[in-house]
Every structure is written in structure tokens, then in C-alpha cells.
């Protein structure tokens, strides 16, 4: 008996079909095992997440008490030119990088040459150094304001008052000679 190419092809075909069937069975079995493992792992993760959100009595943890403890007031110093002033409330400061709105408090200390002055001594165009603190309400509050007056403010201090202008000339000028 001799082995013909036809016999080899039939044997190879049967072997290939058996190999494909074995591979398909292996994929199905391993896929089910991975799904079972993944379902167990997923359920375990979900249970851990649920338990992390509960306190010792099994009640949900609220963030209200944590927020008060987590916030830290941040202090910062701004240097710039006073561009807007609402007396008793806030002022806007133009720095090199930004425009900052800074809120005034009753105990804000305002100084010129190390002497304490009133808020009324602030005028638009003044150069200021402001020590501030940012509170939980996200507003920036002034603690200390040091004024380094600008020599010539470009904006009048009170825009509602008209600037002094010479009267209109309705007559011909008179010669002094």
C-alpha cells in the first residue's frame, strides 16, 4: 500500500477541521472563564466603592463637613494701578498680568509712607501694593493696602464731577496794546 497525495490531503483536511474545532472550543471556554472572572472582579470593585461611601453605621458619607475642613485661605500680594473704585465695597487693580477685583473690609488697613489713611485717600491711577486673602466664597479680600501715589493720574478721581474747563469765547480777543 502506497500513500497517495489524495490520502495526505484527506488526512490534512481532517486534522485541520479537528484543530479548528479544538481552537473554537478553547476560545469559548476561556472566554466564559474570563467573563466569570471579570464579573466577579467587577462586582468586588463595585462593593468596595459602595463601602467606601458609607460610614461605620452604614450611612452615606456627606461632603458638607469635609468642605469646611479642606479649604485653606490663600494669601497673595498684588501690585498694580487702581483703575476702578466703589467706595466701601471693592476696587479693581490692573497688574502686569491681569485685572483683579479686590473686595474691601472694614478692617482693611490703608497706608501711605507708613502712616494709616482713610479710604478716601485712594484715587484712580494710584499705584498700589495690596496684601490679600482669598476666602471660601472665592472672593479676594484686601488685608493691607500700601499706596505709592502716581505723580499724574491719567483718570480723574471722580468722573461724576466735571473737570474745570475755560469758558467758551464768544467775543473777539482784545489786544493788550
Tens digits of residue pLDDT in 52-96: 776 666 666 665 554 455 668 888 999 999 898 888 899 999 988
Is there a single domain that holds both residue 91 and residue 127?
Answer: yes
Burial class (CB in 10 A: 0-12, 13-18, 19+), 128: buried
**Residue 27 counted as domain residue:** yes
Average confidence (pLDDT) over 19-37 = 80
Residue 24 sits in which domain range?
7-51
Please give the grid coordinates belonging to residue 51. Answer: 463601602
| Structure confidence at residue 18 (pLDDT) | 96
Give ∠ CA 28-33-38 in degrees, rounded to 5. 125
State whether residue 44 is helix, strand or coil.
helix
Q: Residue 5: is its pLDDT beyond 70?
A: yes
**Residue 81 counted as domain residue:** yes
Is there a single domain that holds both residue 84 and residue 133?
Answer: yes
pLDDT tens digits, one per residue of 105-114: 888 898 887 7
Is there a single domain that holds both residue 135 and residue 82?
Answer: yes
| Structure confidence at residue 32 (pLDDT) | 66
CA-CA distance, 20 to 18, in Å (whole number)? 5
**Residue 120 counted as domain residue:** yes
CATH code: domain of residue 108: 2.40.50.140
DSSP 60: B
**Residue 63 counted as domain residue:** no
Please give the grid coordinates belonging to residue 164. Answer: 474745570
**Residue 138 counted as domain residue:** yes
pLDDT tens digits, one per residue of 114-165: 788 888 888 888 888 999 998 888 889 999 998 876 544 443 444 445 555 5
| Structure confidence at residue 45 (pLDDT) | 82
User: Between these two residues, 44 and 37, which has the higher pLDDT value?
Assistant: 44
Domains: count for the chain: 2
Is there a single domain that holds both residue 28 and residue 94?
Answer: no
Closest C-alpha among 76, 75, 77, 79 to residue 95: 79
| Structure confidence at residue 35 (pLDDT) | 59
**Residue 156 counted as domain residue:** no
**Residue 176 counted as domain residue:** no
**Residue 82 counted as domain residue:** yes
Most confident of 49-53, 161-165, 173-177: 49-53
Strands 109-112 and 127-134: unpaired
Write out the E strands in 32-159. Answer: 74-86, 90-94, 99-103, 109-112, 115-116, 127-134, 140-148
Confidence of residue 167 (pLDDT cuts 50, 70, 90): low
| Structure confidence at residue 154 (pLDDT) | 41
| Structure confidence at residue 153 (pLDDT) | 46
Place of cell 491719567: 154
Neighbours of 130 (CB within 10 A): 25
CA-CA distance, 134 to 124, in Å (whole number)? 24
Closest C-alpha among 110, 94, 102 to residue 155: 94
| Structure confidence at residue 106 (pLDDT) | 86
Residue pair 149/113 in contact by the 8 Å Cβ criterion: no
| Structure confidence at residue 133 (pLDDT) | 92
Residue pair 160/123 in contact by the 8 Å Cβ criterion: no
Amino acid at each position: 500500500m502506497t500513500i497517495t497525495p489524495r490520502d495526505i490531503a484527506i488526512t490534512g483536511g481532517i486534522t485541520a477541521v479537528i484543530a479548528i474545532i479544538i481552537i473554537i472550543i478553547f476560545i469559548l471556554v476561556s472566554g466564559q472563564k474570563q467573563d466569570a472572572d471579570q464579573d466577579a472582579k467587577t462586582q468586588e470593585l463595585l462593593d468596595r466603592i459602595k463601602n467606601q461611601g458609607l460610614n461605620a453605621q452604614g450611612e452615606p458619607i456627606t461632603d458638607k463637613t469635609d468642605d469646611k475642613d479642606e479649604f485653606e485661605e490663600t494669601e497673595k500680594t498684588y501690585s498694580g494701578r487702581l483703575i476702578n473704585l466703589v467706595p466701601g465695597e471693592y476696587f479693581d487693580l490692573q497688574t502686569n498680568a491681569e485685572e483683579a477685583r479686590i473686595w474691601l473690609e472694614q478692617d482693611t488697613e490703608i497706608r501711605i509712607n507708613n502712616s494709616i489713611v482713610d479710604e478716601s485717600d485712594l484715587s484712580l491711577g494710584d499705584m498700589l501694593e495690596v496684601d490679600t486673602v482669598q476666602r471660601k466664597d472665592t472672593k479676594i479680600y484686601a488685608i493691607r493696602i500700601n499706596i505709592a501715589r502716581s505723580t499724574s493720574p491719567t483718570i480723574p478721581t471722580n468722573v461724576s464731577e466735571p473737570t474745570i474747563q475755560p469758558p467758551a469765547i464768544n467775543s473777539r480777543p482784545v489786544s493788550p496794546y
